A and B are shown apart, each in its own frame.
Chain A
Amino acid sequence: MGKYILRRLLAAIPLLIIIAVFIFFGLKISGADPLAYLANDPRIRPSDRILLTARLGLNDPVPLQFVHWLIGDDWYERDVTGDGVKDEFGTRMGLLRGDFGESIRYRQPVIEIIAQFMPNTLLLGLTAYIATVLISMAVGIFAALRQYSVADNVITGVSFITFSMPIFFIALLSVQIFSVQFKAWHDAGASWLPYLPVQGMYDVRGDRSLDELIRHMILPVFCLSAINIAGYSRYIRATMLEVISSDYVRTARSKGLAERRITYLHALKNASLPIVTLIGLDAPFVLAGAVVTETIFSWPGMGRLFIQSLEPIDPPIVMVFVLMIAVAVVLTQILIDIIYAWLDPRIHYT
């Protein structure tokens, strides 16, 4: 297994290089101008723009810019004043030397910026992810064991409705109900009625306590989970139905094993293989944050950072962001293979 993992990791290197090439040149081909945001500012003189363009290396040939992104430009002298004389060395070390670049917008190292936003995304994303997996497992199994019952039909109906709704609609609707309307009723005399915050991680007038954080997480977690629960639970239901009608489950029943043991030990474990694939494919995107949810709920996470980095475009952040997701996808796939082997002893990797 160890050799297998090592081989997979080594094989991932050329893949990541190809991805890096695609990201870099894709952004260049898109024609997005990272300095477009300067266009309408009366304080910006043409000379400022020329200087900034040169210092950022945007005048260099595109293949050379890619090389600078990978290995830095501290060895490369360029003309930044436009007088034809080379007068400044670059300051970047490059991705392969641990320098992920500097944000054009924030003028801070990208890695520092990501370090500020990533913990918030992990907190929200992992909570929503765990809630999704647990609730969808419960709902999926519940529905599978009661196929075509009233409860199963209700769950099916609710799942389809939820799955059909765009997340921004769920988010704004839940805010209108649980924040705005509940607050109005609360203020109108129903003081027993709880209401939820509209946005943010904490109340700016509050004490940044744990309960405050939990209150602020309820709606975004609900919105992030709702659609996934609807999808996952249908998938789990279908997989469980397939497994519980198989021969070995019938054999287990005929041997008199307890129904709980059959369901949760034998059936669920075997039904888990395709579920693990599904969960594994989605897992890396926890890192990416939930663009819509984080924007609507003013959650200071990676999704929101990504949106802010698109308009105006901030290539260093966008490139590292996409590359980070790519790395996470590769690593998650290796992790899934390991879990496969644990779940199904027939699977061996050499």
Chain B
Amino acid sequence: MLGNGKRLLSMSLVLVFMLGLLVSAAHAQDETVLVFGWEQEPDQLGDGSTSTFSQLLGDFFSRKAYGWNSKYEALSDMMAEIPSVGNGMVTTNADGNTVVTHKLKEGLKWSDGEPITADDCLFGHKLFTDTSTGTIFRSDYPSVVASMEKVDDLTIVQTFNKAYPDFLGSDNITVMPQCRYPAHVLQPLMDANGGTVDGLPFFTSGEGYVGYGPYVLESWTKGDNITFVVNSNWVGQAPAFTKVVAKFILESAQMQNALETGEIDVAFNWQNDMLAGYQAIGEAEVFNTAGVYADALWFNIDETGNNHPALRDVLVRKAIIQAIDRASITTAIAGDGVPVPGAFDSSVWWPDGLEVLGYDVAAANALLDESGWVDSNGDGTRDKDGMELILKFFTTPRQSRIDYQLAIQAALQEVGIYTQIFQVPGPAVLFASITNRGIMAASDYDLAIYASSNDPISPNVDPNSFGCVGLPSPENPSGSNFSHYCDPAFDELTPLIAAEVDPDKRHELKHQSVQLMNDAQFWAGLYARVTWYAVRTDRVNTEGLKDGLGTLASNWFQSIEFWTPAG
């Protein structure tokens, strides 16, 4: 009897080990399959999705009319030329509105072999202007694109309802022609679906998906992976990988494990604190590309608020920036190779000779002395007219920001500035509106660390964030100019930049705007949010890959057809 129990137990153990032995040999791996670890499954395909990861996948099988490379130069796999004022494809009509001509390349085909024509662009225009066609996230398209006309089978003319220099759109704006949806497939499906795209399996499960990209959808196993194979009707660069798989792995530690064991070839978008772990994988090369978000130290320069009066003096603000060794702190906290932004706007828009303050403790002390803040009572903290230089320093409970806050606190103490540090919830407390007693909106802070994004494609300025019109007040509760920067000269430039179609003149206006903002010194970049990549070098040839990935959230993989297998 005792033997039976033992037998049962040992049989169970043997069963487990036998199953384990099935793994004795790894399957032979097909060298032309590229497997990405994908941390977020798309909710659906196309512009009905709000998922960034869904948008990224779009670069594989459904290219947009235009994109941008890592130098922010416009490029296109679909159009014969990039419209510009210089080549005469961008003009201004009698009403002062921008008119743009777009020419499709000859011989383009959808993945089902049908030709891509101007009618597809007109169909896309209808989708993006007629809200009855369903839930599509249309961005600025319907509010600024007045009309689209077909000139011939390959040419369309898009007319805006005002002077609109961002006629190709940008990272944040969608106004370009929507030629990525096949009219001959979608129109009949929509007709049978009450005229709407909502719920069409074409988008929700990729059933019968037809697109224009180097790959075409092969299968989508919900919760597991989405697989693409080479599109034989693609006329661009022939992809070297015959199959691309996005494997959905939600758990970050498992993403790293999967790369280490070779179950995936590429892991991306992981956090800075995982850098050491990925670098320890012998077969992986690790690199990053800068994104559009950056964490920064913001100053409250309100002339009338509850902030410390010292911050109204630009010399004090400069001293604070120069007292902090931002490069070293960033290397220690965010990782080696993470850039420290020099100015709020992308360097694309910097005027020649823009002064970017560096680490210089002696200069910081001199500036503070010059501004009259000295330690007159010998308590270690500078003071002036009986007021100690003690600043209220806020951030959100994100660990990296707390680390920065502590490092900055120590650095400022070295020059006689004392900071009281606070960590409070972002949306509910720090960034809340003035009616909800938001700390920043109520001007009840001196320094703060938080992230913001800029748009390297468009030089437009958000007046609600940087203009006098955006100063929060009970009368203007939606104002989000939390630094309380208000310069009429800067405000005058903002609408001019938004309306100037001539690129050279626009650049000049933007240079003036950037210079004014930089002179005010109310922003000090800490670290650019980078997108980290770890690529297995035994599977993927990483030569040249880094440049091709680009820097925008929307085009990390727009050069997927140029990826090549290792060896």
Q: Are A298 and B16 in contact, with the CB atoms below 8 A?
A: no
A29 and B198 CA atoms in complex are apart in Å by 29
Q: Which residue of A lies closest to B9 (CB)?
A: A138
Give the chain B neighbours of A296 by CB distance below 8 A: 251, 254
Within 8 A of B (CB), among A97-144: 102, 105-108, 113, 116-117, 120, 131, 134-135, 138-139, 141-142
User: Which one of B21-29, B385-393, B489-497 is at the A interface?
Assistant: B21-29
Question: A residues within 8 A CB of B222?
Answer: 113, 116-117, 300
CB distance B27 to A145 under 8 Å? no
Chain B, residues 241-267, CB within 8 Å of chain A (1/0): the string is 000010111110110011011110000
Provide the residues of chain A in CB contact with B143, threshold 8 Å.
45
Q: Chain A: which residue is nearest B205 at the CB level?
A: A108
CB contacts (< 8 Å) of A287 on chain B: these are: none
B174 CB–A CB distance under 8 Å: yes
Give min CB distance, A159 to chain B, whole Å: 13
Q: Which residues of B contact A203 (CB under 8 A)?
A: 27, 263
Render A186-203 as a binary contact track against B, CB cut-off 8 A, 1 for contact.
000000101111111111
When each residue 8-27 of chain B gets 1 if its CB lies under 8 Å from chain A and 0 otherwise, what string results?
Answer: 11001000100111111001
Q: Which of A41, A205, A301, A308 has its CB near the most chain B CB atoms (within 10 A)?
A: A205
Chain A residues closer than 8 Å to B251, beta-carbon distance? 199, 295-296, 298
- A301 to chain B: closest residue by CB: B223
How far apart are the CA atoms of A206 and B27 in the complex, in Å? 7
The CA-CA distance from A195 to B27 in the complex, in Å, is 12
B22 engages A41 (CB within 8 Å): no
Interfacial chain B residues near A47, Cβ < 8 Å: 131
Residue of A nearest to B25 (CB): A191
**Cβ contacts B74-87/A at 8 Å (1 or 0 each):** 00000000000000
Residues in B278-299 with C-beta less than 8 Å from chain A = none
Contact status A142-B30, CB under 8 Å: no
A142 B203 Cβ-Cβ under 8 A: no
Q: Are A300 and B224 in contact (CB under 8 A)?
A: yes
Q: How far is the CA of A41 from the CA of B54 in the complex (A)?
A: 13
Pick the residue among A51, A205, A304 that contacts B27 (CB under 8 A).
A205
Which secondary structure dominates chain A's binding surface? Answer: helix
Interface centre among B135, B223, B257 (most CB of A within 10 A): B223
Is B263 in contact with A52, judged by CB distance below 8 angstroms? no
Instruction: Decide if A147 is an interface residue (CB 8 Å cutoff).
Output: no
Question: Which residues on the B side are within 8 Å of A200 (C-beta)?
Answer: 224-225, 247, 263
Give the interface segment out of B43-51, B63-71, B344-352.
B43-51
Q: In the assembly, what is the distance between CA of A203 and CA of B30, in Å?
A: 12
Contact present for A304 and B50 (CB under 8 Å): no
Q: Which residues of B contact A218 (CB under 8 A)?
A: 16, 19-20
Taking a contact as CB atoms under 8 Å apart, the answer to whether A37 and B50 are in contact is: yes
Given A120-B223, A139-B9, A214-B19, the answer on whether A205 and B35 have CB atoms closer than 8 Å is yes
In the complex the two chains form, what is the Cα distance from A138 to B198 in whole Å?
54
Whether, in the assembled complex, B514 has its beta carbon less than 8 Å from a beta carbon of chain A, the answer is: no
A180:B27 contact, CB within 8 angstroms = no
The distance from the CB of B199 to the nearest CB of chain A, in whole angstroms, is: 6
Given the interface pairs A145-B2, A196-B20, A296-B251, the reply to whether A51 lies near B131 with Cβ below 8 Å is: yes
The answer, yes or no, to whether B172 is at the interface (CB within 8 Å) is yes
* Inter-chain contacts of B245 with A (CB < 8 A): 204
Supposing A215-B19, A215-B22, A218-B20 touch, asked if A197 and B138 sit within 8 A by C-beta, the answer is: no
Contacts of A176 in B (CB 8 A): 257
How many residues of chain B get a CB closer than 8 Å to chain A's CBs? 62
Q: Which of A37, A138, A260 contacts B12 (CB 8 A)?
A: A138
Tell me the nearest residue of chain A to B47, going by C-beta. A43
Q: A107-B203, A203-B27, A204-B225 are in contact. Are A42 and B19 (CB under 8 A)?
A: no
Contact A44 B137 (CB under 8 A): yes
Q: How far is the CA of A189 from the CA of B225 in the complex (A)?
A: 32
Sorting the interface of chain A by its residue count into under 10, 10 to 19, 20 to 34 or 35 or more gives 35 or more
B377 at the interface (CB under 8 A from A): no
Contact check: which of B5, B19, B30, B248 meets A298 at CB < 8 Å? B248
Q: Given known contacts A108-B199, A142-B8, is B43 in contact with A198 (CB within 8 Å)?
A: no
Docked complex Cα distance between A203 and B142 (Å): 44
Interface residue B304 (Cβ < 8 Å from any Cβ of A): no
Docked complex Cα distance between A317 and B5 (Å): 44
Determine the distance from Cα of A304 to Cα of B250 in the docked complex, in whole angstroms. 9
Residues 202-248 of B at the A interface (beta carbon under 8 Å) = 203-205, 221-225, 227, 245, 247-248
> Given the complex of chains A and B, what is the CA–CA distance between A202 and B5 in angstroms?
35
Q: Which A residue sits closest to B44, measured CB to CB?
A: A107
B200's closest neighbor in chain A, by CB?
A107
Check A107 against B48 for contact (C-beta < 8 Å): yes
B192 at the interface (CB under 8 A from A): no
Q: Does A331 contact B (CB under 8 A)?
A: no
Q: Are A102 and B199 in contact (CB under 8 A)?
A: yes
* A162 at the binding interface (Cβ < 8 Å): no
Q: Does A282 contact B (CB under 8 A)?
A: no
Return B339 CB to nearest CB of chain A, in Å.
Answer: 23
B225 cross-chain contacts in A, Cβ below 8 A: 200, 204
Residues of A contacting B248 in the complex (Cβ-Cβ under 8 angstroms):
298, 300
A48 at interface by CB-CB < 8 Å: yes
Closest to B10 in A: A138
Please name all residues of chain B whose beta carbon is closer than 8 Å to the beta carbon of A180 when the two chains form the complex. 257, 260-261
Give Cα distance in the complex from A129 to B219, angstroms: 31
A247 located at the interface, meaning its Cβ lies under 8 Å from any Cβ of chain B in the complex = no
Chain A residues whose C-beta falls within 8 Å of the C-beta of B20 in the assembled complex: 178, 194, 196, 218
Q: Interface residues, chain B, CB within 8 Å of chain A?
A: 1-2, 4-6, 8-9, 12, 16, 19-24, 27, 29-30, 33, 35, 41, 43-44, 47-48, 50, 131, 135, 137-140, 142-143, 172-174, 198-199, 203-205, 221-225, 227, 245, 247-251, 253-254, 257-258, 260-263
List, sorted by A's number, 9 A–B pairs whose CB atoms are closer than 8 Å. A43-B137, A51-B135, A107-B44, A107-B198, A180-B257, A194-B21, A198-B257, A199-B251, A204-B227
- Across the A-B interface, give the 7 residue pairs with the lowest CB-CB distance, nearest first: A300-B223, A142-B5, A138-B8, A43-B139, A42-B172, A259-B1, A43-B137
A residues apposed to B, CB below 8 Å: 37-38, 41-45, 47-48, 51-52, 55, 102, 105-108, 113, 116-117, 120, 131, 134-135, 138-139, 141-142, 145-146, 172, 175-176, 178-180, 183, 192, 194-207, 211-212, 214-215, 218, 222, 258-260, 263, 295-301, 304-305, 307-308
